[in-house]
Amino acid sequence: MTHNIDLNDTLFERAKRVIPGGVNSPVRAFRAVGGTPRFVKRAQGAYFWDANDKRYTDYIGSWGPMILGHGHPAVVQAVQNAVLEGFSFGAPTEREIELAEEILSVMPSMDMVRLVSSGTEAGMSALRLARGATGRSKFIKFEGCYHGHADALLVKAGSGLATFGNPTSAGVPPEVVQHTLVLEYNNVQQLEEAFALHGKELACVMIEPIAGNMNFVRASVPFMKRCRELCTQYGSLLVFDEVMTGFRVALGSAQSLYAQAIPGFIPDLTVLGKVIGGGMPLAAFGGPRAIMEQMAPLGPVYQAGTLSGNPVATACGLATLREIRKPGFYEGLAQKTRQLVTGLKAAADEHGVAFSADSEGGMFGFFLMSQLPQNYATVMKTDNAKFNKLFHGLLDRGVYIAPALYEAGFVSASHTEADIANTVAVAREVFAQIKD
């Protein structure tokens, strides 16, 4: 559909007058790729429609939560029912227990879970709990992993292993990140050196097991094994940030995949978000009883939330989890996601475009380079201009992928094989234009 006036432009101009950058979360502004963000009017299944009523096949799915696709009837029904019973009580409800039980029933690493409203809140609280439970302040995170925007987590590496990080945002005092040690992902030697220097002072190692905030980079099995061993040896907690991978890559989340490769493997604490809320503001963190009982009101680690365990959000999350537990769900999702990445790879090969791709469950990533990168520095070597051409080529043809080369993509259960085949055909056209 063509318009003389692009209504996305009109809305963006209006938005920029009243909202910083016109958006409520920076990546939505298309700053990395240029152009005007699409303002979404409505969505159904695998598609959404923008302000011009143009349809897009959606491979972002609200950055992960929409694993069933948009507007799944059972989820819509559950939310409608919940709304009629009340939006928020600030008092406990049975649905919170049900959601906690549902999550715990597939996560053997967790005996108890606390529900919160965002991944940022969950990650920040898990870090506080790790520090409170160990009585230690320092911790390790990895370059390219995102754990929400709490002060202590907005850090980049300092000049060496002996120095701690530097803030990546204005407004974060250097003192606040002086306990954050930032290491290279998948670098076993650095990890060992850091533990040798600081091991007895480390509260935790916080990690995205499949790092979706640098597109799609798996922690190698030897690296993860060493993370676990060193945490155990030094009494530090291994904190899995599964806000993105949780219930997305497998029913048992990424930790179930590492448990297959490393006998007896479990993390100490797990952070969840995105899928468990099914698109509503809901996140969680959990772990063994002895650690979780350090939380207020039982223990000394304080954490609270007016809207935590919100009755509408828990209804949405619960209905979503009940759908994805059905037999064959992940097999079907993984198969379609693989169809997408193998199709894209073949299309890129046809036109001699350097390309590599990977997927797990309903999450995927691809890179305009011939080998899958193992860390952030390599991911950032991507040819930005080429990625932007690919992005806009797809967008013009109605395929919506993340507007930044360091973000993962998502397939939902609503995507059909025909949707995937169509996306691959569209990508083939675009590859023909961007070949060197």
Cα–Cα nearest to 179, from 158, 162, 161, 165: 165
Give the nearer residue to ligand PLP in terms of CB position, either 146 or 376.
146
Among 37, 45, 69, 119, the residue binding ligand PLP under the rule CB under 6 A is: 119
241 among known catalytic residues: yes
244 binds ligand PLP (CB under 6 A): yes
136 binds ligand PLP (CB under 6 A): no
For 356-383, the DSSP string reads EEEEETTEEEEESSSS--SSHHHHTTS-
Rounded alpha-carbon distances, angstroms, from residue 435 to 341, 355, 389? 18, 11, 10
| Least distance from ligand PLP to the Cβ atom of residue 266, Å | 18
- Please, what's the largest Cα pairwise distance for the chain? 65
Sign of the torsion formed by the C-alpha atoms of 331, 144, 186 and 256: negative
Catalytic residue among 47, 274, 336, 400: 274
The SS3 of residue 180 is strand
Q: Which residues, at least 6 apart from 412, have a Cβ–Cβ distance to it below 8 Å? A: 45, 46, 58, 61, 66, 67, 68, 69, 70, 333, 362
123 binds ligand PLP (CB under 6 A): yes
Structure token pair of residue 392: 């806009």
146 binds ligand PLP (CB under 6 A): yes
Q: How far apart are CA 260 and CA 269, in angstroms?
A: 18
**Near ligand PLP by CB under 6 A, which window of 136-144, 198-206, 237-245, 424-432?**
237-245
CB-based closest residue to ligand PLP: 119
Size of the site for ligand PLP (CB under 6 A): 15
Give the nearer residue to ligand PLP in terms of CB position, either 213 or 388.
213
Give the nearer residue to ligand PLP in terms of CB position, either 123 or 279.
123
**Near ligand PLP by CB under 6 A, which window of 156-164, 241-249, 251-259, 392-400?**
241-249
151 among known catalytic residues: no
Binding to ligand PLP (CB under 6 A): which residues in 189-208?
208
Phi-psi region of 310 (alpha: psi -120 to 50; beta: other; left: phi over 0): beta
62 binds ligand PLP (CB under 6 A): no
Give the nearer residue to ligand PLP in terms of CB position, either 52 or 109.
109
Binding to ligand PLP (CB under 6 A): which residues in 249-308?
273, 283
| Least distance from ligand PLP to the Cβ atom of residue 149, Å | 7
| Cβ proximity of 289 and 295 under 8 Å | no
Structure token pair of residue 250: 């497998």
Catalytic residue among 58, 241, 268, 358: 241
Residue 389's φ and ψ, nearest 5 degrees, are -65, -40
Q: How far apart are CA 298 and CA 292, in angstroms?
A: 9
Catalytic residue among 146, 185, 376, 406: 146
| Least distance from ligand PLP to the Cβ atom of residue 150, Å | 9
Give the nearer residue to ligand PLP in terms of CB position, either 61 or 123.
123
DSSP structural state of residue 19: S
236 binds ligand PLP (CB under 6 A): no
Among 120, 236, 253, 412, the residue binding ligand PLP under the rule CB under 6 A is: 120
Phi-psi region of 5 (alpha: psi -120 to 50; beta: other; left: phi over 0): beta
Give the nearer residue to ligand PLP in terms of CB position, either 26 or 352.
26
Structure token pair of residue 163: 């120095």
Binding to ligand PLP (CB under 6 A): which residues in 19-38?
none
148 binds ligand PLP (CB under 6 A): yes
345 among known catalytic residues: no
Tell how strand 283-287 and strand 269-272 pair up. antiparallel
Amino acid at 5: I
Which residues have a catalytic role annotated? 146, 241, 274
Tell me which residues touch ligand PLP (CB under 6 A): 118-120, 123, 146-148, 208, 212-213, 241, 243-244, 273, 283
